[in-house]
Amino acid sequence: MSSLGDRLRQLWPRRSVLGALLLGTGGGYLWGRAGDDVLSSVVAPEGPSGPVAKAEGKTHQITLVASQVADNLTYNRTVPGPTIEIVEGDTVELTLVNELDVDASVHVHGVHYDITSDGTRHSKSFAPPGGRYTYRWFAAAGTAGYWHYHDHVINRPEQPPETREHEGSGGIDRGLYGAVIVRRPGEALPDKTFVIVMIENTLNGLRFPNAPFLEAREGERVEFVIIGHGDFFHTFHLHGHRWVDPGTFRLLDTKTVGPAESFGFQVIAGEGVGPGDWMYHCHVHDHMDMGMFGFFHVMPK
């Protein structure tokens, strides 16, 4: 009897994005843990082709500057903040420089850290106005995935007085968030990565016609990182393109994301559908009608 891996190789050859994702050449979100028999059975032994993530156990020195730009709070003057990309085995030493007139912090999801790097008020791991604070994270084996970071101490204006000396989500509301990608060694690297944060009824704090305009050339490997924040659940839908759900191996073109949830995937731009302006949007009708949509522009080869 043929194995699951053999059957999948027959169904999805390597040259397609589905074959790439299922057989280890696409990276994407198809990441297993040691001892995961199902996932290990579908990874091709020869590994991916093209550029791959290298297991080097590096220590990354990163500086984030919290400052105000117009009405937004930002890390390094961008919303979302810089995408932090590391490989399992790497360490991050991140220094937050706070140029705001309130306390600020960085709290991370997915990777390992001790209480002094929690980025919370009760652990005193935040930077006061005009000050700085250094966090240390470790991407242990098994933490590969699509994660994110955000402030955890700035209050909302409507926050009750009895909670103001504890934690707050006001910094997230105003733009203090970003993506973290932890790759497995040997994982195929994308040509481009796009981060979309679905927060309230916006995409990266913006609505159409100002929503992020994403651009790639037909045939490029494109990675999407989708993060949820705020008080609502959203459904991310990408026209004309599909990806593989890692739990069920089903094809998806729509996935729900709630507050603090995140997921990611890779596609080959225009594969099977060609170039064009492919819409992406929240499929909750009220949200879409309020401008929660943008375009993925695929140029001809």
Which pTM value belongs to this model?
Answer: 0.83
- As a CATH number, domain 4-52+186-299 is 2.60.40.420
For residues 246-256, average pLDDT: 88
- pLDDT computed for residue 108 by the predictor: 98
Query: pLDDT category, 49, cuts 50, 70, 90?
Result: low
Sorted by where each begins, the domain ranges of the chain are 4-52+186-299, 59-183
Q: Taking the CB of residue 278, how many other CB atoms lie within 10 A of it?
A: 18
Query: pLDDT category, 246, cuts 50, 70, 90?
Result: confident
Q: Are 230 and 199 in contact (CB under 8 A)?
A: yes
Share of the chain above pLDDT 70, in %: 82
Mean pLDDT, the chain, integer: 85
Pick the more confident residue, 8 or 217: 217
Cα separation, 91 vs 219, whole angstroms: 33
Check for a shared fold between 4-52+186-299 and 59-183.
Answer: yes
Q: Taking the CB of residue 83, how many other CB atoms lie within 10 A of it?
A: 15
What is the largest distance, in Å, between two alpha-carbon atoms of the chain?
A: 67
Tokens of 149: 């970071």
CATH topology of domain 59-183: Immunoglobulin-like (2.60.40)
